[in-house]
């Protein structure tokens, strides 16, 4: 799912920013400390500086793969071979970038101290070791993710897309995968309950109807290609999408109450969330059908 890959890549940008920022703070702290004691660029100071960069380099696969893991487990998306190569490439590039910074900043200092061979060997070793670590960690990550996904009972995004007649990319944009998975998990525990089965089907019907909001335009065909018409379509689709997300999130909240024993349910949350659904749907075509489709679900929560 390329949309998911793009979202993860954006998080990678944030991760490398924080890794570099932490490195900069450490280096500043070390430099202040050693300068105050008249030991600037002493062996101990240089060891601290290089050690700080090496720590930053080790953080790259650790943080990047943690980010990738969280996102893929959340959306039940396996690591395809193409993505695996892309991951290796982006982590290697960031490692090489930090190694090059080490080279630019400290090579001349080591050269002036007649320690150039020592520095070059260390740089070479850091680069080789880091690349080997990336390959090793990606292998472990891939295997672990495969095991996690194969044992998961959650409905996969492609199946949710089929059930609700939506694109997977739309589900990702709406952040709807987790809520819908949770809704199905709750009803999955009620297998054999015909009332629950009917309520879940009603939820499905309501969401499908709601997903059409903003996609049907009452525009004169002759005006269809005008700028005003394009703006109107864009606003309509955006408004419809917001309603769809609001309804899914509200149903999710109610489902979390449904799974509790009756005596532990929060009636205030149920009442407010039910009102939120009605408020979100008002003035939209098809609202009566949606509310009617949700009646079985509402009755399970004793909502009149």
**pLDDT score at 174:** 83
Residue 235 has pLDDT above 60, yes or no: no
Local structure of residue 191 (DSSP, 8 states): T
Q: What angle separates helix 194-210 from helix 177-188, to the nearest 10 degrees?
A: 160
Give me the mean pLDDT over the 249-266 stretch. 93
Local structure of residue 213 (DSSP, 8 states): T
Residue 160 has pLDDT above 60, yes or no: yes
Total-model pTM: 0.64
Place of tokens 């949606």: 290
Mean of per-residue pLDDT scores for the chain: 87
Residue 236 has pLDDT above 50, yes or no: no
The CB density around residue 230, as the number of other CB atoms within 10 Å, is 12
The CB density around residue 132, as the number of other CB atoms within 10 Å, is 10
CA distance 236 to 244: 12
The torsion region of residue 114 among left (phi > 0), alpha (psi -120 to 50) and beta comes to left
């Amino acid at each position: 799912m390329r949309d998911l890959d793009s979202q993860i890549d954006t998080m990678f940008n944030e991760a490398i920013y924080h890794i570099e920022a932490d490195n900069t703070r450490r280096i500043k702290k070390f430099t202040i400390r050693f300068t105050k004691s008249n030991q600037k660029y002493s062996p101990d100071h240089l060891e601290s500086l290089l050690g700080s960069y090496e720590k930053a380099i080790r953080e790259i696969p650790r943080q990047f793969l943690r980010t990738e893991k969280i996102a893929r487990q959340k959306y039940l998306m396996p690591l395809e071979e193409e993505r695996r190569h892309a991951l290796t490439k982006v982590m290697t590039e960031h490692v090489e970038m930090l190694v090059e910074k080490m080279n630019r900043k400290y090579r001349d200092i080591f050269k002036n101290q007649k320690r150039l061979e020592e520095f070059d060997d260390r740089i070479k070793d850091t680069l080789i070791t880091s690349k080997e670590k990336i390959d090793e960690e990606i292998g472990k990550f891939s295997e672990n993710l495969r095991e996690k996904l194969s044992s998961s009972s959650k409905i996969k995004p492609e199946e949710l897309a089929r059930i609700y007649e939506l694109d997977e990319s739309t589900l990702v944009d709406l952040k709807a995968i987790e809520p819908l998975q949770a809704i199905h998990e709750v009803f999955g525990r009620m297998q054999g309950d015909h009332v629950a089965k009917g309520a879940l089907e009603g939820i499905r019907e309501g969401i499908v109807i709601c997903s059409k909001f903003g996609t049907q335009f009452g525009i004169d065909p002759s005006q269809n290609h005008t700028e005003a018409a394009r703006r109107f379509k864009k606003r309509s689709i955006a408004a419809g999408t917001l309603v769809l997300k609001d309804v899914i999130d509200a149903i999710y909240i109610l489902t979390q109450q449904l799974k509790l024993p009756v005596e532990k349910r929060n009636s205030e949350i149920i009442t407010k969330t039910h009102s939120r659904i009605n408020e979100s749907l008002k003035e939209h075509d098809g609202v009566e059908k949606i509310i009617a489709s949700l009646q079985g679900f509402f009755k399970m929560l004793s909502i009149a």
